[in-house]
Amino acid sequence: MNDRALNFRAATAADVDAIVALVESAYRGEASRAGWTTEADLLDGRRTGADDVSAQIGRPQSRILLAERQGRLVACAHVAVEDGAGYFGMFAVAPCLQGGGIGRQVLAEAERIVREDYGQALMRMTVIDLREDLIAWYQRRGYRRTGVHKPFPYGDERFGLPRRGDLRFEVLEKAL
């Protein structure tokens, strides 16, 4: 058996706390600085919560994809159908494991789910447009910048506490 292999499965209610902990560790606070996906210089506060995760697990055509290695949660992503296309978000890889190919595998599995299980030909996501390194990573995987921007939800602490006043999202897309 390959101890580097990932096993994929859909999250259940029993996974909510572990998902929240993983996402928070990848994006917020000092622990997130061990990886390259940190948003610690842009946002404080929470990245997600049990309420958000539970809502996505319970929605039709929505799945929180979990990636496990030797029974341990190492990555997750939310995939769903929104506005006539696949949606990819809440993507997190354990900070100490970033840069080792796990993210590419999770993204590929998410694209497969959207294409084969949900019957969608397009995947969309939103990324904070200041995250040039992250956008470049997605571009290397076939995503394109659409030039469509969405405002950051200032004042809604469910999305974090901004450390800057110039945050906004950009929509990225990829034909599947």
pLDDT tens digits, one per residue of 17-29: 999 999 999 988 8
Cα–Cα distance measured from residue 91 to residue 140, given in angstroms and rounded to the nearest whole number: 17
Q: Are 46 and 160 in contact (CB under 8 A)?
A: yes
Tell me how far apart the alpha carbons of residues 23 and 95 are, in angstroms, rounded to a whole number: 10
Q: Bridge partners of 113?
A: none
* 58-113 confidence digits (pLDDT tens): 999 999 999 999 999 999 999 999 999 999 999 999 999 999 999 999 999 999 99
SS3 state of residue 161:
strand
CATH number of the domain residue 57 falls in: 3.40.630.30
**3-state per-residue secondary structure call for 62-129:** EEEEEEEECCEEEEEEEEEEECCEEEEEEEEECHHHCCCCHHHHHHHHHHHHHHHHCCCCEEEEEEEC
Asked if residue 137 belongs to a domain, the reply is no
CB hemisphere CA count around 48 (13 angstroms):
27
Decide if 79 is inside a domain.
Answer: yes
Q: Does a structural domain hold residue 157? A: no
159: in domain: no
In a domain, 97, yes or no: yes
Structural domain count, the chain: 1
pLDDT, one tens digit per residue, over 89-100 is: 999 999 999 999
Q: Is 27 a domain residue?
A: yes
Q: Would you say residue 176 lies in a domain?
A: no
Domain range for 47 is 7-126
pTM for the whole thing? 0.93
149, part of any domain: no
Residue 110 has a pLDDT of 98
